[in-house]
Structure 1
Amino acid sequence: MSALWTAAEAARATGGRTAGAWQATGVSIDTRTLAPGDLFVALAAQRDGHEFVARALELGAAAALVSHVPEGVSGDAPLLVADDTLAALTALGAVGRARTRARVVAVTGSVGKTSTKDMLRTALAAQAPTHAADKSYNNHWGVPLTLARMPRDTRFAVIEIGMNRPGEIAPLARLARPHVGIVTTVAAAHMESFGSLDEIAREKASLAEGLVPGGVMILNRDTGTYPVQRGVVGRLGVRCLSFGGSALAHYRLSDTNLTETAVTARAACMGAPQIFKLAQPGRHLAMNAMAVLAAVDALGADRARAALALAGWSAPEGRGARWIIALGGGGIDGHVHLIDESYNANPAAMAAAFEVFAVTQPRDGQGRVARGRRIALLADMLELGADGPALHAQLAALPALAAVDTVHCAGPLMKHLHAALPHKKRGLWCADSAALAARVPRLVDAGDVVMCKGSNGSRVGLLVQAIKKLGDARPLDAQGTE
């Protein structure tokens, strides 16, 4: 494997001091996922990364980026010493971005960032070397890390950019310097830090501040805050394209057909007809794909090839990934179908997830209960501010909830939904996800379809793991089979 960073290059990029002629083939901030040959960056997070430098070198790290020689590490170890390791990683990312000829697209939005990022990677990788983070690395260290990991021969790069509070997106956009920016949608998320949806919209639109000259912004025409975002982009003198179901959208989704395992769509892209399929149900996913097709055109890639490639895309873990759990040896006692929506949640994402859940069919005649059921396990949606209780209660009015048999809830905010549910759909309420997870074996039966959703901070993953532990859990492939 060719060198991603030589000692001399990394020192010049960061302004750090190093000795020796080491070469790194990757960049890592976590010894649990470090590969031999990585440059380990000792960031200060929940724990100081300097505590793990010795372990990183034992695991085969080519060198470590540090602010001082850590205790237990020899002074002649392969170290790159800089005053501030996060600043040094950011500088490394800036140089990593500058040294390639890559066409870059940056994605932000209240819902659908990671799915859209992964769709873009699938669509573009079919045409040229494409770089994107495997995970949702979209914050003040995730964006620099993604850029620092970019191979020299990258031709397309996809950078996800997120935020928790005002003023975070523009600096990351300036670092990524994208040719194309996408805002998937604007919804009630992180409301604790913002006074209104318009403020969130302006923050998302500030992505345009980092575009290279001649860059293009792609906005969701269907959102109520589109005029706000269009105004921000217009004042910056940036060209704007739109997507959505609106007749005014440049990339218009005109028709969708949902099945249990897929969505097929008809669209018009700048007036030209386009048909595509995703091997994952959900009109919201088809809408994200419209943003992808707009970006493909803006990047100068082949939209027809991209549309074909999207048929092979599958949802990432925690964002609609599907599992089949075989109960008993070889599934002799039947199967449970799991929809893992555990990574994050807000009201808009919850509505989209329930729409998909409603078309997923349970199986009758398999378990103790003769009829298969749709069962939702929900945990708190966080960072919604003072409106949090009301927004949870309002989920009871979702039209797709009519197709759900039972809703079990965990957390103080979900208690408001629990109280608002019709009696026949009201399952258990538990104080937290751990308490609800302990009850899972008695709540789920063969033939059931189970969806787990809530904010990551509500530990929804405990519910997912509890269901997987019921039997032999295997992911479903793009055709909806084991």
Structure 2
Amino acid sequence: MSLWTAGEIAQATGGQVVGDFAVDGVSIDTRSIEQGDLFVALAGVRDGHEFVAPALAKGATGSLASQAVEGPHVLVEDTFKALEKLGEAARVRAPQVRRGAVTGSVGKTSVTQAVRAGLMLAGKAHSSVKSYNNHIGVPLTLARMPRDTERAIFEIGMNHADEITPLSRFVRPHAVAITTVGAVHVENFPDGEIGVARAKAEIFDGIEPGGVAILNADNAWFDLLSDAARKAGAKVLSFGAGETCDARLIDFQPQADHAVVQARLHGKALDFPILQKGFHWGPNSMAVLLMLEALDVSLGDSLAALGAFEPLEGRGAEKAISLPDGAFTLIDESYNANPISMTAAFKSLGARKTSGRRIVALTDMLELGEGGPGYHAGLAQPLDAAGIDLVFCAGPLMKSLWDALPSTRRGGYAESAAELAPQVTQAVEPGDLVMVKGSNGSKAGAVTAALLALDGRSGKAG
């Protein structure tokens, strides 16, 4: 059975069918078009209608357009509003779906994808891909949901207040999780972190009556969030280190190629292995267990999913890089960074056993507002506590950290990630543990790419 027929698309969006067709997927990007997709011509830097013909050539069977285009299409007044309506129609036509939503200042993509792994073991599952968590990504994810789906998980993000509320109302989740709240996007909140917390609490605005709110009891904003959840009619379940937590983290023990989590779930002792070695995966795994439970996944499937879930690219993925005289380990954390995740990453790196040095290459943490330089300088203390041997810094904000570092810990500084990369590639030696971390917008991936390029070469890059 097709995902959508042209008639169903027209009925959902109030559009007009021009040439009959059916689709098996929905896409907004010609670069990722698959055979049988519906191409949605959204307005952007360039008008999406310019890409209808290339989309059809790549295999799209029809398009959603607001002006006359070639090929079969559904004609609507506004393609963005039509995409929203298509997403809502997908939710309404599949009332059997048990839906979950994840937000938080740190870890929402990894937690969402770990939950997805559990849902896939339990039955017909649907989920967000990549970080499709904004005003386009959420309705797009809904519009892609097959009508026979049993369980679904959605990632919901924000940069400003009043962004999560409409997205939560699209999803209408039965269970929500807020991983944590911290100093992320604070430049957009005049009242600082409490503004971020209130914005995250918007996820309760769309929760189904009697839904479950899964919250981090170790976070400073737990009381604010739990009060907001209860006012929305949700049942609160907590995770953290405290004795009263529904999912209580007792211990997290990193090993060479995995970690062992010791926990209590509703008072029952659990010990289980996971492939993630970062300490933040202690609380993350607790959130995953509670979310999967709320979505009617068995504990056996939940533990199996956590045990097989591998670190995501840019979010802790590791690779041994071969040099002429041996290999070093690259830990890729280049997708995102903020003061919370930086501190957790340093602690995890410091706990790792290595025959070489612990090295970090850091690029700017963005959207921290006027406090940005202070947040960067403040990383010197957790770096010291973790016993990191060598620190490389790139970017104008990271200059504040560079200035705060003792000379013995300074590896190198550059204005940009691209300029820093050759300094790092020259410095690495066999046995080193090398972590690259920074905000995606500050191009930390350039350092990762340079280190990956060393693999198997006869000599280091200059």
| TM tier, smaller | over 0.9
Partners of 1:96 and 1:175 in 2: how far apart? 10
Kept after mapping to 1: 8 A contact 2:114/2:305:
no
Partners of 2:329 and 2:212 in 1: how far apart? 41
Report what 2:181 is aligned to. 186
Report what 1:477 is aligned to. none
Report what 1:287 is aligned to. 283
Partners of 1:400 and 1:300 in 2: how far apart? 43
Q: Deviations over 1:329-363 (max 9, x none)?
A: xxx54223111101111000111111222233444
Q: Residue 375 of structure 2 is aligned with which of 391, 395, 401?
A: 391
User: How high is the TM-score relative to the length of structure 1?
Assistant: 0.91
Partners of 2:456 and 2:165 in 1: how far apart? 45
Report what 1:147 is aligned to. 142
Report what 2:92 is aligned to. 98
1:350 aligns with 2:342: yes
Alignment of 1:12-411 (within 5 A): 12-69=11-68, 73-74=69-70, 77-100=71-94, 101-194=96-189, 195-327=191-323, 332-363=324-355, 372-398=356-382, 402-411=386-395
Partners of 1:336 and 1:153 in 2: how far apart? 46
What residue identity is the alignment partner of 1:250?
A: D
Kept after mapping to 2: 8 A contact 1:197/1:225:
no
- 1:129 Cα deviation after fit: 1.3
Kept after mapping to 2: 8 A contact 1:138/1:160:
yes
Partners of 2:428 and 2:285 in 1: how far apart? 34
Structure 1: 4+ residue segments shifted above 6 A: none
- 1:82 Cα deviation after fit: 1.3
- 1:472 Cα deviation after fit: 4.6
Partners of 1:8 and 1:226 in 2: how far apart? 46
Kept after mapping to 2: 8 A contact 1:278/1:286:
no
Kept after mapping to 1: 8 A contact 2:3/2:25:
yes
Q: Which runs of 5+ in 1 are unaligned?
A: 364-371, 474-482
SS of 2:378's partner is helix
Question: Structure 1 23/292 Cα, relative in aligned 2: closer, same or farther at 3 Å?
Answer: same
Partners of 2:359 and 2:229 in 1: how far apart? 43
Partners of 1:121 and 1:190 in 2: how far apart? 26
Partners of 1:84 and 1:361 in 2: how far apart? 56
SS of 2:123's partner is coil
- 1:275 Cα deviation after fit: 2.2
Partners of 1:398 and 1:246 in 2: how far apart? 23
Partners of 1:92 and 1:333 in 2: how far apart? 57
SS of 1:398's partner is helix
Q: Which runs of 5+ in 2 are unaligned?
A: 458-462
RMSD: 1.6
Partners of 2:88 and 2:352 in 1: how far apart? 44
- 1:400 Cα deviation after fit: 6.2
Report what 1:441 is aligned to. 425
SS of 1:229's partner is helix
Q: Determine what percentage of the aligned residue pairs are the same residue.
A: 47
Report what 1:453 is aligned to. 437
What residue identity is the alignment partner of 1:229?
A: L
Kept after mapping to 2: 8 A contact 1:354/1:400:
no
- 1:48 Cα deviation after fit: 2.2
Question: Structure 1 271/287 Cα, relative in aligned 2: closer, same or farther at 3 Å?
Answer: same
Question: Structure 1 400/205 Cα, relative in aligned 2: closer, same or farther at 3 Å?
Answer: farther
What residue identity is the alignment partner of 2:285?
A: A
What residue identity is the alignment partner of 2:162?
A: G
Partners of 2:383 and 2:144 in 1: how far apart? 44
Q: Deviations over 1:261-319 (max 9, x none)?
A: 22211211122222222111122112111111112222222123211221000111111
What is the aligned residue count?
455
Kept after mapping to 1: 8 A contact 2:412/2:423:
no
User: How high is the TM-score relative to the length of structure 2?
Assistant: 0.95
Partners of 1:455 and 1:169 in 2: how far apart? 22
- 1:401 Cα deviation after fit: 5.1
